[in-house]
Amino acid sequence: MADAAGAAVDRTLIADGSPYYLRISNLFRADLGLTFANSELAASYSLSLVPDLLTLKVAPFHVGDLRYSYTASRFVFSLTQTLGAGERIFLGAGRASPLVGLAPVQDPRPTAPAPPALATPGSIDSGVLPGARMLPSVASRSTAAVSYRWERRLSSAFVVGYQMYGGLGRDAQRYLALQRVVDAGASVAYGMSARVDLVSGLVFARGWNSSDNKYALLTLSESWLYKWTSTTSLDLGAGISSRETESSDEPTRLTTTPVAAIGLTQALTGRDTTGSLRLGVTYAPLVDSVTGQIANRLAVLGSATAAHGDLHAGVGAGLSQAIPASDPGAVTSLTANVYAGYQISSWLGASLSAYVARQTIVTTGLPAATLLPSGVTWGVYGGLYAVSPTLRF
């Protein structure tokens, strides 16, 4: 079991008066896990508050998560359910997630990289934030997944999911459309050698929202992972994506575009220090969580992490550009963040992080009620977390 609490001060320059917000994230958080011989059950709950320092209103947001998995010698089956609901103040200004910096522990140890995920179920960009406004909202996702290892080099996986994201109630949906998505994905991975892995992926998604936008999306991709050395790896991916979109004011359109990705990962190892460097570029369609429209997105992401004893630290930066850049609702965003964490004792730790994001929106042609302003936001977060010892029965 564990709990954590922290707070962030957000400054947004996108609304009249340039207001400040104090975000008390993970005011209460509890995690519980039960492990059996071949299965595991985990549950968590967290409460976050955002007091508006100008209106003195408080926005509570509740998040619950339930996970179950069963593992056999070649077979893994899992179910997950995540539900978040309550009042949220959307700060706008960037595609940085509203949860930036809120994880009390970020593990910088190098992990085995995976081929780029160009076909990803549930790819709603929930980091797209409208302008400063308190809205009742919901974020929910249900998934069922199964994977099977046919032999040492060959494995396959299948996942189905359903999700909702957006405003609750007619007034909130004027600004933040409620989106519903049903999706399914399948992949086959084959290890050609000790250095080379291939992954074939196929994803289908069908979505609709309260703004009367509908779409069907099908993406087929091939990914290649090359382990250059024991610490350096290169991943490449390419494929094709077709989508059919329709809305109340536009005829049905069929669009086919290429998708691609490239990434380089370097693990850092030393006697007392470990870490990693990562640079990735992706071009693929993504669903905008505010407008409900699909846009091809060019994203460049870089990160560096390190750990020395009980100290963990990292930095990250990203660029995201909708293509074409002149379309209504097209977003250009720049983000950067830095964090540090320290394990004070076996049960107590502390973290500190900061982020800044700049967003530019093409507002021509968008409904007047849509809150998608251009501007800048930044925030600083600090928190403490405590972990209880494992209980065995």
For the chain, strand residue ranges (E) read 2-12, 20-35, 39-51, 58-71, 75-90, 124-125, 133-149, 154-167, 179-191, 196-209, 214-227, 232-247, 250-269, 273-288, 294-308, 311-323, 331-343, 348-361, 375-387
Q: Mean pLDDT across the chain, nearest whole number? A: 77
CATH topology assigned to domain 2-387: Porin (2.40.160)
Tens-digit pLDDT profile for residues 230-279: 899 999 999 999 988 887 777 788 889 999 999 999 998 888 888 999 99
Tens-digit pLDDT profile for residues 279-321: 999 998 877 666 667 778 898 999 999 999 889 899 999 898 8
All structural domains of the chain with their residue ranges: 2-387
pLDDT above 90 (res 49): no
Tens-digit pLDDT profile for residues 119-176: 555 555 544 444 556 778 888 899 999 999 999 899 999 999 998 888 888 888 877 7
Q: How far apart are CA 322 and CA 283, in angstroms?
A: 10
What integer pLDDT is reported at residue 101 of this predicted model? 30
What integer pLDDT is reported at residue 109 of this predicted model? 34
Single pTM value for the model: 0.76
Tens-digit pLDDT profile for residues 5-15: 444 444 444 44
Tens-digit pLDDT profile for residues 174-209: 777 788 889 999 999 999 888 899 999 998 989 888
